[in-house]
């Protein structure tokens, strides 16, 4: 059943448009309350990132859930995976995250977690959509839901993050630059790494409601790279606005993406004697990751782009590790969803235990040059199948002669066509990607 409102990662859009209005979010809160209360208890937790519209939508959700007779626990600004964790530990029937992840401040969205801290299954999302279109009926005043704030939410999650690495692990003597994207990790990540002994330098840690993801965080890792070099740090770690993605930078200022992070964590698990079975990546995963993983004796499987598809693959195969090159890493042996802080801790713990640097840890992995160009869609269109676009793709594939890949896909979260080309020569790959991007732009009249 095709969904009308839910995308690949909840509901997301421009504030004040579509479902991102106070009225629609209140109705959605009511619908969520009615559906989830029938599947569990009458308790839902709400958390948010730091964008200014979060205040408005938090109040709207609280009103809608109360109208459905559901009690609410307010967490305030918290990373998305922290909300998933507290949903489980508070024994709530669901958790709701008010966030548009890596998008600019003028967007916002809603993500949902079930009682076990995982994304809602499709059938529940379908029930919520059906209830959303029903007439809103408010429960009797005597059974309206109540709301309370969880005062120690931050501390609970900090301890949960630290517990994902062995007791006794110390980052003493390691200088770390953290870029918190002026987002939900700003008051969490610095404490986690400092309490584990690292010398922490924080940037992107002064949110004002509008500067979330603005020229900072995992979507602008060059800022972190410059800070690492300036401070002569050992390592840099950048999160996105809601804290479920992570990128890293080595001491030489080179950006380490999700594929390389995933590879290091795989090596860490194998070094600890863990049987991984295989690794799940996506269509965007670098060919270098696939080859390196196979050298470790592990199977490598590609899924469609999106963490929910990686998660589905892991569960089907009984594996624990997968992720995307964007830095969305899933460690099911440590947590229930993608977690930027937890993923970074796995890398740091491995480096600390074995006395390695990021440079050394990746010395046996060679990444293929990969170029990604995002082409904006000014109008609602689907130019991928246009003859001129397909011809451009065929021309590039012929030029690559089997020594690279081309991937075109529509973004699931923004009005963009993502053009990815991978091959042996970076200059050629860049030129090829631009050729296809130009063809896409021309087809939509931009």
Distance CA 351, CA 271 (A): 12
* Residue written as token pair 């501390």: 155
pLDDT-derived band of residue 380, with 50, 70 and 90 as boundaries? low
Per-residue pLDDT, 377:
85
Per-residue pLDDT, 429:
94
| Nearest residue to 8 via CA among 119, 123, 133, 129 | 119
Q: Which domain CATH number covers 79?
A: 3.40.120.10
Which residues are marked as active site?
101
Query: Which of 150, 181, 214 finishes a domain?
Result: 150
Do 141 and 225 have their domain in common? no
Q: Mean pLDDT, to the nearest integer, of 372-389?
A: 84
| Domain housing 197 | 171-255
Q: What is the CA radius of gyration of the chain?
A: 22
Q: Which domain CATH number covers 438?
A: 3.30.310.50
Residue 162 belongs to some domain of the structure: no
- Is residue 294 over pLDDT 70? yes
Residue 159 belongs to some domain of the structure: no
Name the domain count of the chain: 4
Residue 163 belongs to some domain of the structure: no
Per-residue pLDDT, 411:
81
- Is residue 19 over pLDDT 60? yes
pLDDT tens, position by position, 199-255: 999 999 999 999 999 999 999 999 999 999 999 999 999 999 999 999 999 999 999
189: region left, alpha or beta (phi > 0 left; psi from -120 to 50 alpha): alpha
Residues 6+ apart with CB under 8 A from 317: 277, 278, 280, 301
pLDDT tens, position by position, 185-195: 999 999 999 99
Do 386 and 396 have their domain in common? yes
Do 222 and 291 have their domain in common? no
Do 266 and 327 have their domain in common? yes
Alpha helices in 236-339 (DSSP H): 258-271, 287-295, 307-317
- Is residue 409 over pLDDT 90? no
The answer to whether 299 and 425 are in contact (CB under 8 A) is no
Look at 82 and 381; give whichever has higher pLDDT.
82
Residue 280 belongs to some domain of the structure: yes
Do 185 and 275 have their domain in common? no
Angle 339-22-49 from CA coordinates, rounded to 5°: 20
Residue 430 belongs to some domain of the structure: yes
Do 250 and 287 have their domain in common? no
pLDDT-derived band of residue 1, with 50, 70 and 90 as boundaries? low
Decide: helix, strand or coil at residue 150: coil
Which segment of 4-18, 188-202, 315-329 scores lowest on mean pLDDT?
Answer: 4-18
Decide: helix, strand or coil at residue 24: helix
- Cα dihedral across residues 263, 264, 269, 272: positive or negative: positive
Residue 79 belongs to some domain of the structure: yes
Do 39 and 135 have their domain in common? yes
Do 284 and 206 have their domain in common? no
* Residue 225 C-beta-side C-alpha neighbours within 13 Å: 13
pLDDT-derived band of residue 122, with 50, 70 and 90 as boundaries? confident
Q: Mean pLDDT, to the nearest integer, of 251-273?
A: 97
Residue 63 belongs to some domain of the structure: yes
Do 146 and 111 have their domain in common? yes
Do 135 and 230 have their domain in common? no
Q: Mean pLDDT, to the nearest integer, of 70-96?
A: 96
| Nearest residue to 244 via CA among 330, 358, 322 | 330
Residue 310 belongs to some domain of the structure: yes
Residue 407's φ and ψ, nearest 5 degrees, are: -140, 125
Query: Which of 229, 255, 281 finishes a domain?
Result: 255
What's the mean pLDDT when you consider all of the chain? 94
Q: Name the token pair of 78.
A: 């918290």
Neighbouring-strand partners of residue 375: 417
Distance CA 195, CA 50 (A): 23
Do 140 and 189 have their domain in common? no
Do 250 and 268 have their domain in common? no
């Amino acid at each position: 059943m095709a969904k009308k409102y839910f995308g690949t990662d909840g509901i997301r859009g421009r504030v004040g448009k579509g479902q991102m209005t106070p009225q629609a979010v209140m109705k959605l809160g009511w619908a969520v309350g009615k559906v989830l209360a029938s599947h569990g208890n009458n308790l839902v937790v709400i958390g948010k990132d730091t964008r200014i519209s979060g205040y408005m939508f938090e109040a709207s959700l609280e009103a809608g859930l109360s109208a459905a007779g559901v009690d609410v626990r307010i967490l305030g600004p918290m990373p998305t995976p922290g909300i998933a964790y507290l949903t489980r530990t508070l024994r709530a029937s669901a958790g709701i995250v008010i966030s548009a992840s890596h998008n600019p401040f003028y967007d916002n969205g809603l993500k949902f977690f079930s009682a076990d801290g995982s994304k809602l299954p499709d059938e529940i999302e379908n029930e919520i959509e059906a209830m959303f279109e029903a007439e809103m009926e408010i429960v009797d005043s005597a059974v309206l839901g109540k709301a309370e704030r969880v005062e120690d939410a931050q501390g609970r999650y900090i301890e949960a993050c630290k517990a994902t690495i062995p007791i006794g692990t110390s980052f003493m003597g390691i200088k770390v630059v953290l870029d918190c994207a002026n987002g939900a990790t700003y008051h969490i990540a610095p404490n986690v790494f400092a309490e584990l002994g690292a010398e922490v330098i924080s940037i992107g840690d002064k949110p004002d409601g509008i500067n979330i993801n603005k020229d900072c965080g995992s979507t602008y890792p060059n800022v972190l790279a410059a800070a690492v070099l300036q401070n002569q740090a050992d390592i840099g770690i950048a999160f996105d606005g809601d804290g479920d993605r992570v990128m890293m930078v080595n001491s030489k200022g080179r950006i380490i993406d999700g594929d390389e992070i995933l590879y290091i964590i795989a090596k860490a698990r194998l070094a600890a004697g863990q049987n991984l079975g295989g690794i799940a990546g996506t269509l965007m995963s670098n060919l270098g990751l696939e080859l390196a993983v196979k050298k470790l004796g592990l199977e490598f499987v590609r899924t469609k782009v999106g963490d929910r598809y990686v998660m589905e693959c892991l569960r089907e195969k009984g594996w624990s590790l997968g992720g995307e090159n964007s830095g969305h890493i899933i460690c099911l042996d440590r947590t229930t969803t993608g977690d930027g802080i937890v993923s970074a801790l796995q890398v740091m713990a491995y480096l600390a235990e074995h006395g390695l640097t990021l440079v050394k840890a990746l010395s046996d992995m060679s990444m293929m040059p990969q170029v990604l160009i995002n082409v904006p869609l000014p109008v609602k269109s689907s130019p991928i199948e246009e003859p001129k676009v397909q011809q451009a793709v065929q021309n590039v594939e012929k030029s690559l002669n089997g020594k690279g890949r081309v991937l075109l896909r529509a973004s699931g979260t923004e009005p963009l066509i993502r053009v990815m080309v991978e091959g042996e020569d970076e200059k050629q790959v860049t030129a090829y990607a631009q050729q296809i991007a130009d063809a896409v732009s021309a087809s939509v009249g931009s």
